[in-house]
Amino acid sequence: MSSIPFESLPLDPTGSPGNAWGRFGRDDQLGTLNLLTPEVIVEAAKEIRTGVRISLDWPLSMPTYPSFERDPFQQQIVHRRPNCINDDILTFNTQGSTQWDGFRHYAHQQSKRFYNGHTQEEIESSDVLGLHVVTEAGGITGRGILLDYAGWADEHDIALSPLTSSSIPIAHLTQLMHDHAIRPRPADILFIRSGFTRAYHALSDADRHALARRPSPDFIGLEASEAAVRWLWEHQFAAVAGDAPSFERAPIRGAHADKRFNLHEWVLAGWGCPIGELFDLERLAAHCRETGRYEFFLASVPLKVVGGVATPPNSVAIF
């Protein structure tokens, strides 16, 4: 549990609602990744027992047509004639496929301030909050836990609609953890499987094209509520991630969402907790169900781009 009660937020009274600015120092650029201490990593490594490794990255070319008006992945093979040598040139939006959102991605929209109070002007004129800092600190590496909500919902005859705007209730996740005997520890890295990638793979190419061009980006995600931010804060996750295009229910604003508790503003900009999206959790979920183990060692090393905003995670779960 956090040594700082939820009721003590915001820590910086001049900042955004619920912020934890200054918790790790005024110049901190790692946020909750500071919880991944050497001692935590050593303990997390005890989850490695069988050596089974499962990639959690979707191919960079998936989804075929990204939502939110992002350009799709492109690859150009360059034959270095006259030699039999190839290069390739990749062009992609770092948020077009599996991604970690860094602290430069999303600010508190009303105040226009990023984690620890940084401004857009600072982002554009320096490398502050860049993801290279995360890489230099050892990446996002520690004990991962999977909450297989899609599998749990199947077991309880709860109909899911991952390709529509729908919420994953905190009450359901609490019951799921009880049923699967999952006991989160501070500094765990949370993954929630909604079944989005399963639903996406079942679509035709035409359906995928239409999905990306809907007037509203409607997708399943965690409920945006006081209950959600309290639950996340109390568990003190080092990072949180899901398999849908948005960690929270999308669109992230609207009548369905409590505008006081926008998760991107609270979690990413307020606490400095990285948010992951579009992770491929299908093989992971199958292995967890087969073995009855929902905890694993996670190794994820962001691209070392100075001033990077977001990144493919380059992630693997190790059992």
Give the pLDDT confidence of 281-298 residue by residue, as tens digits.
999 999 999 999 999 999
Query: For residue 255, what pLDDT is reported?
Result: 87
Cα separation, 82 vs 307, in Å, equals 37
Average pLDDT over the chain, rounded to whole? 97
Question: Is a pLDDT exceeding 60 seen at residue 126?
Answer: yes
Query: For residue 254, what pLDDT is reported?
Result: 87
Q: Read off the pLDDT of residues 4-31 as tens digits, 9 standing for 90 and up.
A: 999 999 999 999 999 999 999 999 999 9
Question: Is a pLDDT exceeding 70 seen at residue 1?
Answer: no
Percent of the chain with pLDDT over 90: 97
Q: Where are the domains of the chain?
A: 6-318
Distances (CA, A) of 179 to 61, 153, 288: 36, 12, 14
Q: What is 6-318's CATH number, 3.30.428.10, 3.40.50.300, 3.30.1280.10, 3.50.30.50?
A: 3.50.30.50
- Helix, strand, or coil (residue 31): helix
Average pLDDT over residues 194-220: 97
Query: For residue 87, what pLDDT is reported?
Result: 98
Cα separation, 267 vs 258, in Å, equals 15
Question: Is a pLDDT exceeding 80 seen at residue 2?
Answer: no
Cα separation, 35 vs 116, in Å, equals 16
- Per-residue b or e along 262-281, where b marks 16 or more CB atoms closer than 10 Å to that residue's CB: bbbbbbbbbbbbbbbbbbbb
Average pLDDT over residues 147-156: 98
- Are 75 and 89 within 8 A, CB to CB? yes
- Are 291 and 129 within 8 A, CB to CB? no
Closest CA to 209 of 31, 67, 15: 67
- The CA R_g of the chain, rounded to the nearest whole Å, is 19
Q: Read off the pLDDT of residues 60-74 as tens digits, 9 standing for 90 and up.
A: 999 999 999 999 999
Q: Read off the pLDDT of residues 28-41 as tens digits, 9 standing for 90 and up.
A: 999 999 999 999 99
Query: How many CB atoms neighbour CB 305 within 10 A?
Result: 16
